[in-house]
């Protein structure tokens, strides 16, 4: 007979996790020379759940700061604007790609090289965190 303590452990292991889980597809960072203090990061973020999820912040040991930016055209000039709270609707995806939304990754702690795998932490609006490995590409 299973003791109630073991039953509790089994329930904890097999119960569905209520926290938000996003899927991060093809996360990569465009490499730049060491003299350039920022990198841009791209990926497709998919929310497979039935409720919207927002990314409230990002951090990494590999960068001093990470922001979400949107590239916009204004009066024929391209410029970037910070996005606070990137919302991903239920059962849909948001594309971070060159010329559009991107991660602005500032002041790498070490020079980056093509092939590097750099981990970032994505903080969601329910307080949960997800780790994402991003590959540096040329
Ligand atoms: Cu930017």
Please tell me the distance between residue 50's alpha carbon and the centre of ligand 1 in angstroms. Answer: 30
Q: Residue 11 corresponds to which tokens in the numbers above?
A: 């329930």
Distance from the CA of 17 to the center of ligand 1, in angstroms? Answer: 34
39 C-alpha to ligand 1 centroid (Å): 8
CA of 105 to the centre of ligand 1 (A): 8
Overall average pLDDT of the 35-62 stretch: 97
What is the distance between the alpha carbons of residues 117 and 27, in angstroms, rounded to a whole number? 10
User: How far, in Å, from the CA of 110 to the mean position of ligand 1?
Assistant: 20
For position 1, what pLDDT does the model report?
62
- Over residues 92-136, the pLDDT tens digits come to 999 999 999 999 999 999 999 999 999 999 999 999 999 999 999
Q: Please tell me the distance between residue 104's alpha carbon and the centre of ligand 1 in angstroms.
A: 5
pLDDT at 15: 58
Q: CB-based burial of residue 59 (10 Å sphere; 0-12 exposed, 13-18 middle, 19+ buried)? A: middle
Contact of 68 with 98, CB cutoff 8 Å: no
> Domain-by-domain residue ranges, the chain?
20-137
Q: Tell me, what's the pLDDT at 108? A: 97
Pair 111, 50: CB distance under 8 Å: no
Cα Rg of the chain, angstroms: 18
* Cβ atoms of 62 and 103 closer than 8 Å: no
Label residue 6 by pLDDT band (50, 70, 90): confident
User: Is pLDDT of 89 > 70?
Assistant: yes
Tell me how far the alpha carbon of residue 79 lies from the centroid of ligand 1, in angstroms.
8
**Residue 16's pLDDT band (boundaries 50, 70, 90)?**
low
Q: Supply the pLDDT for residue 7.
A: 74
Ligand 1: centre distance to CA 117 (Å): 20
- Residue that the structure tokens 């948001």 belong to: 94
Residue 3 alpha carbon to ligand 1 centre in Å: 56
- Going from the C-alpha of 74 to that of each of 28, 80, 99, 130, 136, the distances in angstroms are 27, 10, 13, 34, 30
Inter-residue contact 2 to 110 (CB < 8 Å) = no
- Which residues have CB under 8 Å from 82's CB, separation 6+? 67, 68, 69, 70, 104
Q: Which CATH superfamily is domain 20-137 in?
A: PCu(A)C copper chaperone (2.60.40.1890)
Mean pLDDT, rounded, of the chain = 92
pLDDT over 90 percentage in the chain:
83
């Amino acid at each position: 007979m299973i003791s109630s303590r073991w039953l509790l452990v089994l329930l904890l292991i097999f119960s569905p996790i209520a926290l938000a889980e996003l899927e991060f597809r093809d996360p990569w960072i465009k490499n730049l020379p060491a003299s350039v203090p920022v990198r841009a990061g791209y990926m497709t973020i998919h929310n497979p759940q039935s409720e919207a999820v927002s990314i409230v912040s990002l951090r990494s040991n590999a960068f001093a700061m990470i922001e979400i930016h949107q590239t916009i055209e204004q009066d024929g000039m391209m410029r970037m604007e910070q996005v606070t709270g990137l919302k991903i609707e239920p059962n849909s995806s948001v594309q971070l790609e060159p010329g559009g939304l991107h991660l602005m990754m500032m002041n790498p702690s070490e020079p980056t090289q093509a092939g590097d795998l750099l981990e970032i932490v994505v903080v969601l609006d329910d307080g949960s965190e997800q780790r994402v490995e991003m590959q540096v590409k040329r």
